[in-house]
Structure 1
């Protein structure tokens, strides 16, 4: 069963409140219209969900903001008890992020490459490979369990190379990748209302 992301970009538009009243948050745009890609590296890096790569999450388990917009509250209520990992992050925090920062630990999934005439070709990564397990003597009961290996460890098995690697934030959230539309909208709103007045509120479901 996979994990999906849901949420809204919210904006606190200071020009819209009445004199003498505090400004309120508005649900600006549904995340569904910008990015609902199931990318566990990004989920882990940003929010600590499915954090197989061992990142220090930017904004994990903060819960629903106490001043969340009516639109966000209404949408979240529709999900009842199906959701988990509700949290939020401001554009100011995202702008201040060092995207070159490495994960705190090596990826619990081995990165797999195939030998070709032109060199190594990246295949993918997973927590379990029967070929790898048999070659290094891992018992089958270890299947599906998160496990890390010393960084740089490498195994050559047939035409396949398995490596233990440490990811960077930029590898998890690629520049110009699927999160770019979200950042573009948040940046545009922040240019009008301020970096601290734009935030992303998210929750997850299986």
Structure 2
């Protein structure tokens, strides 16, 4: 059974407020499913520590549902009942400072597989648990015309700049441009 992600981009409306104290509560700006429809365990591990086979120091693991979560977020989370797990959140202020070139803390639990493209170069073909994860980083071997390699990936490998998360980041950036970095966050949870 796979693990799926759910959540909301939340925002506190700071536009046209005179004082910091005037900033209202959090609003569910947009449901995550309208921006991200993937199931990418490398991204889940890198960002939130869920299905973290690649061995990242997660950016925002196990923070729980924020006590001041928006009504939309709270209702969405509660609708999943006991199936919801791994609730956490991360603010745009944090995301905008991430070093996307930072590498995982260890070699990936999975062996990375490559096949030849028409020009003869090696291109990624998949990852799997083939019982060789005890090999050191960079170790590689060819078997049945395929290249296998032990890899320690970067955050950029897990969450490519123009990848599936780009619409989420663009939405958060746009809201932050209007309301301020500290007034935008992503709240997520998972189900199996």
C-alpha RMSD of matched pairs (Å)? 2.0
Higher Cα Rg, which structure: 1
Contact 1:102 1:169 survives alignment (8 Å): yes
Match of 2:83 in 1: 82
Q: Does 1:181 align with 2:167?
A: yes
Comparing 177-186 and 20-29, the one that deviates more: 20-29
- Give 2:34's aligned residue: 33
| TM-score normalised by length of structure 1 | 0.86
Residue range with higher mean Cα deviation, 74-83 or 2-11? 74-83
Task: Give, in whole Å, the separation in 2 of the partners of 1:109 and 1:150.
Answer: 12
Does residue 1:154 correspond to 2:155, yes or no?
A: no
CA displacement at 1:180 relative to structure 2: 0.6
Does the C-alpha gap of structure 1 residues 159 and 78 become closer, same or farther in structure 2, counting only changes over 3 Å?
A: same
State the 1:77 CA deviation: 1.1
Deviation readout 1:26-49 (Å, 9 max, x if unpaired): 000000100020011100000001
* SS across alignment from 2:81: coil
Report Cα offsets for 1:82-128 as digits up to 9, x if no partner: 11110000000000000000000011110112356613232111113
5+ residue gaps, structure 1, are 137-146
Q: TM-score, normalised by structure 2?
A: 0.92
| Aligned residue number for residue 94 of structure 1 | 95
Residues 147-181 of structure 1 show CA distances to partners (whole Å, capped at 9, x for unaligned) of 44310111222312211011000010001111010
State the distance in 1 between where 2:177 and 2:124 align: 39
CA distance in 2, matches of 1:115, 1:22: 55
Residue 21 of structure 1 deviates from its aligned partner by: 5.9
SS at match of 2:52: coil
Say if 2:172 and 2:184, in contact at 8 Å, map to a contact too: yes
Greater Cα offset, 109-118 or 176-185: 109-118
